Structure 1
Amino acid sequence: MEIFENISQWINNHPISSNIIRYIIWAVFILLAIAFLRRFLRKKLPDTRIRYKSQKAVEFFGYVLLIIVTISFFTGSIKDFALAIGLLTAGITITLQELILSVAGSFYIFFVGVYKPGDRIEINNIKGDVIDIDSIYTTMMEIGEWVSSDNYSGRIVKLSNAFVFKGPVYNYSKDFPFVWDEFNIPIRYGSDLELAKSIVIKVASETLSEYVSNSISEWNRVVNKYYIENAQVEPTLAISMTDNWIQFNLRYIVDYKKRRYTKHLLNQLIEKEIQKTNNKVKLASATVEIVKIPNINLKKE
């Protein structure tokens, strides 16, 4: 009893210190509760998507509760919320500007739906697949850099959420999970152009038929949602004349995650079909033609 009386007397004599101690106890309790609930949900929820969103919701509401408790302890009443926020903002806006912008960015990302885990995006000149979004950072598996095409580099990049306010965000998969790609095919002058065109279009149409059929309904949704004109999703071929060859430009639609493989497959199949034409269609390459060799007179003296 004497111990409790001493504690009570100390609390009465040191109200500020006791208030801080009570706040620390509440803060630790809330943080432990967040950690416990996140671990519980990770074990009990089998679906990855639901588990991820549930953990983020627990984290979000836990931190909101911590902010309310903080204001309650240090202002004496939640009614002083606006005053407390004003005083805090005046003191820390400059020093914590990036942090505040990152937190605001996380709210913007979640509520507006700029991107979500699983999307492929490019932001601040960094391209990759989003693997996590927290209150401060977006984590991506990087694509490109020292590897060609859309292959993973192996680096995991953490990017501040503040960048959603500082520049464009390119989303490869939101609303329309397909992209247009193209490559050039050099055809030698003197080849049968009609046969060459039929080969390229036939191979492209057969190879990309699944992408075309799936993309039509997806594109119709985009047209209905945004102010945008309709577009041709079937493979198209454009021909131009150069100094060295006739250039075929094949443009087509493809799954955003299969650009490299699809381009490889199309090149391989087109080359095989051209080989079957018995030189009616020939692929061109950069060559040097010597028109005339000048005469050189060598005289012995």
Structure 2
Amino acid sequence: MYYLWFTVRSREFNIQTLIEEINNWFAQYPILASLAKYLVWIVLIFSIVTWVRRVLKRRLPDNSLRYKSQKGIEIIGYFLAILVSITYFSGSIKDFGLAIGLLTAGITITLQELILSIAGSFYIFFVRVYKPGDRIEINGIKGDVIDIDSIYTTMMEIGQWISSDNYSGRIVKLSNAFVFKGPVYNYSKDFPFVWDEFNLPIRYGSDMELAKDIVISVAQKHLSEFVRASVSEWKHVVEKYYIENAQVEPTLAITMTDNWIQFNLRYIVDYKKRRFTKHLLNEEIGKRIQQTKGKVLLASATFEIVNIPTVNIHDKTSTNKKN
């Protein structure tokens, strides 16, 4: 019993001695003590943020809600870290000056891209340049945004070796710093429609009025829904930006060329249905033209040979025989 009591007392004494030695060491180096306490707070904050994100990821069934909650917790963590940094170092002018000096020394050429990426993430969030689900083009890369974190924007790539607006299958991670380095094309922000067009060559001698009726009727049939939806959306754009009102109804322009009469159909369409809509329009217009039984004909490139020059062939073998 006495041995057990002595062991406990010895351990308490050792712990107390260790604590006293640590306190004495920190007393000798107050700057290091302040930095150590600060780092403990920062590690604690981000540990709690990581734990909360994991809990929300397991318990929230909805994909969208789970994503937004995790991003919200991440932003709160950054805010708390900044708040702790300001309140912790502002109490001592000497320590605050040291912190500023260390921070300045840490901003080197190798960290510029990282710092710019973090600044870009705040810019994207507060200015709402784009959000997950938007279709954008940035730094020559086009795709749908599937994630935005503190450093990277993740996109599902569109195009490249794939024609039109189809996924290539590659997931691209792009630095958030690129929002400061060039234009960002957003296909869906404020106005989720784009204008598209295609050309239709009609042979000379075709029934022009019948051809126009076919193109216009097909366009009205397949594009009326997009026109109705885009009218109200465009009103919001006009109210928000300094821009004139635009015509969202399909328009047909006719141009006379050397080889054919060119019909140019311009129309508005949902940015995600551009390729399929163009397929529907071409398919039905082609069928309607075939049903005209030759009154309307599609044209193709032709070549006319005006004159064939005379070619004289001189046979050296026959000449040598005569000699």
Q: Following the alignment from structure 1 to structure 2, what is the Cα–Cα distance between the partners of residues 126 and 265?
A: 28
**Runs of 4+ more than 6 Å apart:** 78-82, 295-301
Whichever residue aligns with residue 212 of structure 1, its letter is V
> Residue 16 of structure 2 aligns with which residue?
5
Residues 246-286 of structure 1: CA deviation (Å, up to 9, x unaligned): 11111000000111111111111100000000111000111
Q: Following the alignment from structure 1 to structure 2, what is the Cα–Cα distance between the partners of residues 253 and 23?
A: 57
Match of 1:239 among 239, 254, 273: 254
Match of 2:269 among 245, 251, 254: 254
- Residues 239 and 9 from structure 1, CA distance in 2 versus in 1: closer, same or farther, beyond 3 angstroms? same
Q: 2:29 aligned with 1:14, yes or no?
A: no
Q: Name the SS for the 2:263 alignment partner.
A: strand
Whichever residue aligns with residue 16 of structure 2, its letter is E
Deviates more, 1:1-10 or 1:269-278: 1-10
Q: Following the alignment from structure 2 to structure 1, what is the Cα–Cα distance between the partners of residues 287 and 177?
A: 50
Question: What is the deviation of 1:59?
Answer: 1.1
Question: What is the deviation of 1:100?
Answer: 1.5
> Residue 91 of structure 2 aligns with which residue?
77
Residues 14-58 of structure 1: CA deviation (Å, up to 9, x unaligned): 215666665555444323211211122223333333322221121
- Note the 1:28-39 alignment, pairs <5 A: 28-39=43-54
Question: What is the deviation of 1:78?
Answer: 7.2
Match of 2:281 among 255, 258, 266: 266
Question: What is the deviation of 1:3?
Answer: 2.2
Kindly indicate whether the alpha-carbon contact (under 8 Å) linking 1:120 and 1:173 is maintained by their aligned counterparts in 2: yes
> Residue 131 of structure 2 aligns with which residue?
116
Q: 2:205 aligned with 1:190, yes or no?
A: yes
Q: Following the alignment from structure 2 to structure 1, what is the Cα–Cα distance between the partners of residues 90 and 237?
A: 52
Max radius of gyration: which structure? 2
- Note the 1:57-72 alignment, pairs <5 A: 57-69=72-84
> Residue 147 of structure 1 aligns with which residue?
162
Q: Following the alignment from structure 2 to structure 1, what is the Cα–Cα distance between the partners of residues 125 and 181?
A: 17
Kindly indicate whether the alpha-carbon contact (under 8 Å) linking 1:71 and 1:81 is maintained by their aligned counterparts in 2: no
Kindly indicate whether the alpha-carbon contact (under 8 Å) linking 1:68 and 1:78 is maintained by their aligned counterparts in 2: no
Q: Following the alignment from structure 1 to structure 2, what is the Cα–Cα distance between the partners of residues 258 and 81?
A: 59
Q: Following the alignment from structure 1 to structure 2, what is the Cα–Cα distance between the partners of residues 171 and 197?
A: 34
Q: 2:88 aligned with 1:87, yes or no?
A: no
RMSD: 2.5
Whichever residue aligns with residue 280 of structure 1, its letter is K
- Residues 100 and 163 from structure 1, CA distance in 2 versus in 1: closer, same or farther, beyond 3 angstroms? same
Q: Following the alignment from structure 1 to structure 2, what is the Cα–Cα distance between the partners of residues 5 and 85?
A: 31
> Residue 180 of structure 1 aligns with which residue?
195
Unaligned segments of structure 1, at least 5 residues: none
Q: Name the SS for the 1:14 alignment partner.
A: helix
Deviates more, 1:174-183 or 1:32-41: 32-41
Q: Name the SS for the 1:11 alignment partner.
A: helix
Work out the number of aligned pairs and report it: 300
